[in-house]
Chain A
Amino acid sequence: AQKITQTQPGMFVQEKEAVTLDCTYDTSDPSYGLFWYKQPSSGEMIFLIYQGSYDQQNATEGRYSLNFQKARKSANLVISASQLGDSAMYFCAMRGRSEKLVFGKGTKLTVNP
């Protein structure tokens, strides 16, 4: 079974600064994928970034990058140059052999002006 742990219930960051949201995972599957989703107050889940377990390089998508440390089983999300619109819940998720996407409990990010 897969498990995702997000230990930061809430995080605060100043506008224009970078922030790291932590995610650790546990799985016995040799091949897996890691995802980050953003959920604004409107409720819709928005895909941000994906990292495959065999990918050699850390994934990047614009201001989002994923700090993937396989040996530590961590997949932290780094948001650079934070904007007010980044304030939202952020969920880390993973998929192993099954099609289930397993989510963590999320981190609430607040960007201060």
Chain B
Amino acid sequence: GAGVSQTPSNKVTEKGKYVELRCDPISGHTALYWYRQSLGQGPEFLIYFQGTGAADDSGLPNDRFFAVRPEGSVSTLKIQRTERGDSAVYLCASSLRWAGTGANVLTFGAGSRLTVL
């Protein structure tokens, strides 16, 4: 696609429920990133994929959070037993290059706003 697509754009759920957020990166981009942005804060790194594998998941806050990218394209961020503190905008980004060389500019999607009641 022309840009990074994220669905749903808005998700309201109840505490304790399971949530999936989907990211469709730019075609051909091998690297995919998930970030979380709380109100009034900058984006916070969650996880990074190079191809199908999670190269760095050090930002996932706890074991309720999990992400997959089974075919090296679309990724799904999964949150189990949601808590009110999980409410945030979840941003996905993709890039063509990896390994930290050069600019390696990340292109972001519009985000999925999660509200946990």
Q: Which residues of A contact B108 (CB under 8 A)?
A: 37, 44-46
Q: A44-B109, A45-B93 known; A95 and B42 CB under 8 Å?
A: no
Closest B residue to A59 using CB positions: B103
Q: Which residues of A contact B110 (CB under 8 A)?
A: 42-44
A35 in contact with B105 (CB, 8 Å): yes
Is residue A101 within 8 Å, beta carbon to beta carbon, of the partner chain?
A: yes
Q: A43-B110, A45-B43, A103-B43 known; A95 and B105 CB under 8 Å?
A: no
Contact pick for A106, options B42, B89, B102, CB 8 Å = B42
Q: Which residues of A contact B41 (CB under 8 A)?
A: 105-106
Q: Which residues of B contact A97 (CB under 8 A)?
A: 100
Is residue B91 within 8 Å, beta carbon to beta carbon, of the partner chain?
A: yes
A91 in contact with B31 (CB, 8 Å): no
Q: How far is the CB of B101 from the nearest CB of chain A, in Å?
A: 9
Q: A43-B89, A43-B111, A45-B93 known; A101 and B106 CB under 8 Å?
A: yes
Q: A42-B110, A99-B48, A100-B56 known; A47 and B43 CB under 8 Å?
A: no
Closest A residue to B105 using CB positions: A47
Is residue A56 within 8 Å, beta carbon to beta carbon, of the partner chain?
A: no
Contact pick for A99, options B44, B56, B105, CB 8 Å = B56
A99 in contact with B111 (CB, 8 Å): no
Q: How far is the CB of A102 from the nearest CB of chain B, in Å?
A: 7
Closest B residue to A92 using CB positions: B42
Q: Which residues of B contact A46 (CB under 8 A)?
A: 108
In the assembled complex, the Cα of A99 lies from the Cα of B56 at a distance in Å of: 8
A101 in contact with B33 (CB, 8 Å): yes
Contact with A along B84-114 (1 / 0, CB 8 A): 0000010101000011101111111111010
Chain B contacts to A: CB under 8 angstroms: 31, 33, 40-45, 48, 50, 55-56, 58-59, 89, 91, 93, 98-100, 102-111, 113
